């Protein structure tokens, strides 16, 4: 099995979307697509599975709410239930309105930060990471589609040329 | 064009008739004299009565004082029980009046913000706001009847109470019957006038050959929103906060607004889903429903934010003159007071959080019904503690009130929907709205 991929470069997102549909219809496997900005509907055209990051965020929020509740219940109610300005520290429920701002903020804090960290982990992003773009123009105004070579290389090149690519090149997989 | 199905018309009439019977029963069951009131309470608290008698005996040494206190207590009880059917009527009348008012505010916002998704729903909103005139007039009639002392919903209208109450005397520059009714008439006139003209321009735009009606609608909508913000705030002080004339809260107007706004949006969603299920509104897709459900979700949370802000600030500082408001509610209305937070916050929060669920009609309908019940209880919690106190009950009178106004609401709204095509024709954003996809 060769490690070769064909890189087809487009200059317009509409052309790219049409090309993706044609490539999918011809049952070629798209390895990756590089675009300078989000192209609406690209994930659907490629058939990518929907993200589950919102579900992760909801669960992180639940963790935050739990942390806030357990923390304040331990500190304010169980460990040292002082009378501070007449607030009823007898049970968590009795003094709950005073805890709600912190419960809310910690829920949001956990949901947001852990979701962002999840995003970084899952998309393998960190400082000093080596950039992976195969063609520097893809960060500016070009769109690049990588299609795995399986079978006839010439035929695939010609096919991609027909989909409106301005440039088609074969490269070793990096 | 929409045709009002006979089945729906019949159910509206049945609801109205059953509602009138329920309300009538409520009025007939109200006690006329102190003796009747005492007998009713004794009956209701069959078991508890003995314990009460025992505590009364314990204070036997202060016989004379006690007798005077008992008499005033009994009169208070009589007033509360006499208020019950009136309060049931008033809560239901206000609840159904605030739905078209919330829709009207939403409609004006959609026009002013030039939203691209909603023009397809403008006729639905206009149909719902048709109830504003009859609904607001009915509320006004109840206010006038209070003003001529047919009931004791507003204690500050009772000259005997005011004579012994310096706090109310100090507020009488604002809280006096003529000024109160004039203000109410101004609010209603302003809202109804905007509704009349925006509807007129909206229909005229269908056959116009330029966009001048659209632009005029834009301008009056912007003007209305300014008027609405002020009038709605004052309306909530007048019609709701003044049942507790000793109490005040600065964010009360916003709080009432959030309640009416979310109820209004919910009703838009319910009517839209109903019309679509009957084969009208074919171009409405699940993205429109998704958008409405997002609003229901977001404004439910906004309502909770205001509810909690009002509650927590008063609970935290615990100033006696403010906190009595919540003390009576938590002591006598524990289940409705906290139950509505579950219905209006926890339930929509968990159910409408998922993006896929917001596209499912039955999910939106189910949540919508829960939200509407929750906001009825919200209004109930605002009015009842001050008018009937611990004598509250959701019985035949209260349910009858809801059924009567529900029937009237359905009849007026669906009659109005038959009067114009359900899809506006020459709205500049209508094409965008038809192809709206989220």
Looking at the fold, whether A20 and A70 belong to one and the same domain comes out as no
Looking at the fold, whether A115 and A158 belong to one and the same domain comes out as no
Residue of B nearest to A54 (CA): B354
Which stretches of chain A score pLDDT less than 50? 1
pLDDT at residue number B58: 44
Q: Distance between CA atoms of A47 and B218, rounded to whole angstroms?
A: 42
CA-based nearest distance A133→chain B, Å? 30
Q: Which is more confidently placed, B366 or B51?
A: B366
B323 exposed, middle or buried (CB, 10 Å; 0-12, 13-18, 19+)? middle
B312: nearest CB among A58, A86, A97: A97
The answer to whether position B232 is within a domain reads yes
Q: Which is more confidently placed, B253 or A154?
A: B253
A97: nearest CB among B316, B353, B355: B316
The answer to whether position B355 is within a domain reads yes
pLDDT at residue number A118: 97
- Decide if B308 touches A, using CB distance below 8 A: yes
Average pLDDT value for chain B:
91
Model confidence band, residue B54 (pLDDT cutoffs 50, 70, 90): very low
pLDDT at residue number A161: 87
> Could you read off the pLDDT of B122-172 as tens digits, one per residue?
999 999 999 999 999 999 999 999 999 998 999 999 998 889 999 999 999
Residue of B nearest to A88 (CA): B316
Q: What angle do CA A128, A133, A137 make, to 5 degrees?
A: 125
Q: Distance between CA atoms of A88 and B196, rounded to whole angstroms?
A: 54
A100 contacts B353? CB cut-off 8 A: no
Looking at the fold, whether A24 and A84 belong to one and the same domain comes out as no
The answer to whether position B214 is within a domain reads yes
The answer to whether position A129 is within a domain reads no
The answer to whether position B62 is within a domain reads no
pTM of this structure: 0.91
Number of domains in chain A: 2
Chain B CB contacts of A54 below 8 Å: 355
pLDDT at residue number B43: 72
Residue of A nearest to B307 (CA): A97
- Decide if A98 touches B, using CB distance below 8 A: yes
For B20, the token pair is: 């009138």
Query: What is the torsional sign of CA B173, B175, B181, B186?
Result: positive
Number of domains in chain B: 1
The answer to whether position A157 is within a domain reads yes
A97: nearest CB among B315, B353, B355: B315
Residue B163, Cβ neighbours under 10 Å: how many? 10
Residue B188 has pLDDT above 50, yes or no: yes
pLDDT at residue number B31: 86
B311: nearest CB among A54, A58, A97: A97
A100: nearest CB among B312, B318, B353: B312
The answer to whether position A131 is within a domain reads no
Share of chain B above pLDDT 70, in %: 94
Looking at the fold, whether A16 and A65 belong to one and the same domain comes out as no
Residue B52 has pLDDT above 80, yes or no: no
**How many contacts (CB atoms, under 8 Å) link A and B?**
12
ipTM of the complex as predicted: 0.89
The answer to whether position A133 is within a domain reads no
> Could you read off the pLDDT of A17-32 as tens digits, one per residue?
999 999 999 888 899 9
Count Cα neighbours of B233 within 13 Å in the Cβ-side half-sphere: 10
State the residue range of the domain holding A118. Answer: 52-123
Q: Which of A44, A61, A97 to substitute to test the interface with B, most B CBs within 10 Å? A: A97
Q: Which is more confidently placed, B69 or B134?
A: B134
The answer to whether position A43 is within a domain reads no
pLDDT at residue number A174: 57
The answer to whether position B347 is within a domain reads yes
CA-based nearest distance B283→chain A, Å? 22
State the residue range of the domain holding B286. Answer: 6-32+81-422
pLDDT at residue number B76: 85
B318 contacts A86? CB cut-off 8 A: yes
Q: Distance between CA atoms of A8 and A159, rounded to whole angstroms?
A: 10
Q: Are residues B302 and B377 in contact, defined by beta-carbon separation less than 8 angstroms?
A: no
- Decide if B319 touches A, using CB distance below 8 A: no
Chain A CB contacts of B311 below 8 Å: 97
Looking at the fold, whether A77 and A109 belong to one and the same domain comes out as yes
pLDDT at residue number B68: 65
pLDDT at residue number B40: 79
Query: What is the torsional sign of CA B185, B79, B15, B268?
Result: positive
pLDDT at residue number B44: 65
Chain B CB contacts of A98 below 8 Å: 312, 316
Q: Are residues A157 and A168 in contact, defined by beta-carbon separation less than 8 angstroms?
A: yes
Q: Distance between CA atoms of B169 and B139, rounded to whole angstroms?
A: 25
Chain B CB contacts of A97 below 8 Å: 308, 311-312, 315-316
- Decide if A100 touches B, using CB distance below 8 A: yes
Residue B60 has pLDDT above 60, yes or no: no
The answer to whether position B55 is within a domain reads no
- Decide if B316 touches A, using CB distance below 8 A: yes
Q: What angle do CA B166, B169, B174 make, to 5 degrees?
A: 145
Residue of A nearest to B309 (CA): A97
Looking at the fold, whether A78 and A107 belong to one and the same domain comes out as yes
Q: Which of B316, B330, B350 to substitute to test the interface with A, most A CBs within 10 Å? A: B316
The answer to whether position A11 is within a domain reads yes
Chain B CB contacts of A58 below 8 Å: 353
pLDDT at residue number B49: 42
């Amino acid at each position: 099995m060769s490690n070769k991929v064909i890189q087809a470069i487009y200059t317009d997102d509409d052309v790219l979307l049409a090309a993706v549909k044609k490539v999918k219809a011809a049952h070629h496997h798209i390895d990756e697509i590089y675009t300078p900005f989000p192209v609406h509907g690209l994930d659907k055209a490629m058939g990518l599975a929907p993200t589950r990051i919102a579900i992760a965020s909801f669960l992180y929020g639940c963790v935050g709410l739990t942390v806030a509740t357990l923390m304040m219940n331990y500190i304010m109610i169980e460990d040292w239930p002082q009378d501070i300005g007449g607030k009823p520290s007898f049970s968590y429920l009795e003094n709950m309105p005073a805890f709600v701002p912190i419960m809310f903020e910690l829920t949001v804090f956990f949901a947001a930060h852990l979701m962002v960290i999840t995003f970084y982990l899952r998309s393998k992003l960190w400082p000093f990471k080596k950039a992976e773009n195969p063609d520097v123009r893809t960060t500016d105004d070009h769109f690049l589609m990588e299609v795995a070579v399986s079978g006839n290389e010439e035929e695939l090149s010609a096919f991609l040329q027909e989909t409106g690519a301005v440039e088609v090149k074969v490269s070793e997989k990096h | 064009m929409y045709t009002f199905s006979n089945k729906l018309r019949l159910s509206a009439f049945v609801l109205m008739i059953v509602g009138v019977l329920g309300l009538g029963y409520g009025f007939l069951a109200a006690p006329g004299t102190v003796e009747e009131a005492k007998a009713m309470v004794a009956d209701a608290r069959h078991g508890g009565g003995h314990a009460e008698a025992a505590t009364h005996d314990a204070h036997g040494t202060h016989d004379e004082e006690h007798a005077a206190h008992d008499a005033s207590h009994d009169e208070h009880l009589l007033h509360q029980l006499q208020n019950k059917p009136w309060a049931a009527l008033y809560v239901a009348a206000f609840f159904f009046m605030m739905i078209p008012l919330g829709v009207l505010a939403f409609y004006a916002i959609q026009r002013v913000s030039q939203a691209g998704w909603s023009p397809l729903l403008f006729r639905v909103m206009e149909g719902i706001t048709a109830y504003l005139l009859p609904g607001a007039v009915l509320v006004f009639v109840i206010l006038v009847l209070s003003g001529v002392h047919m009931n004791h919903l507003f204690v500050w209208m009772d000259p005997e109470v005011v004579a012994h109450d310096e706090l109310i005397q100090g507020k009488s520059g604002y809280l006096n019957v003529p000024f109160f009714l004039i203000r109410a008439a101004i609010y209603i006139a302003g809202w109804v006038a905007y509704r009349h003209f925006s509807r007129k321009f909206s229909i005229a735009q269908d056959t116009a050959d330029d966009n001048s009606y659209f632009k005029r609608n834009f301008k009056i909508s912007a003007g209305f929103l300014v008027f609405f913000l002020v009038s709605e705030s004052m309306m909530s002080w007048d019609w709701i906060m003044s049942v507790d004339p000793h109490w005040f809260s600065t964010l009360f107007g916003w709080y009432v607004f959030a309640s009416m706004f979310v109820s209004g949006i919910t009703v838009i969603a319910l009517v839209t889903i109903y019309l679509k299920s009957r084969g009208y509104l074919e171009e409405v897709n699940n993205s429109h429903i998704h958008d409405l459900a997002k609003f229901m979700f977001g404004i439910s949370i906004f309502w909770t934010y205001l509810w909690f802000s009002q509650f927590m600030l008063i609970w935290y500082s615990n100033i006696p003159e403010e906190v009595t408001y919540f003390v009576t509610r938590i002591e006598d209305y524990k289940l409705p007071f906290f139950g509505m937070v579950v219905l209006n916050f926890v339930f929509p929060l968990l159910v409408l959080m998922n993006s896929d669920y917001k596209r499912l009609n039955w999910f939106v309908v189910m949540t919508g019904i829960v939200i509407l019940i929750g906001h009825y209880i919200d209004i109930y919690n605002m009015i009842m503690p001050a008018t009937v106190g611990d004598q509250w009950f959701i019985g035949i009178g209260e349910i009858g009130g809801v059924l009567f106004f529900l029937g009237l609401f359905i009849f007026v709204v669906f009659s109005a929907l038959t009067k114009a095509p359900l899809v506006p024709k020459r709205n500049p954003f209508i094409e965008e709205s038809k192809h709206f996809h989220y």
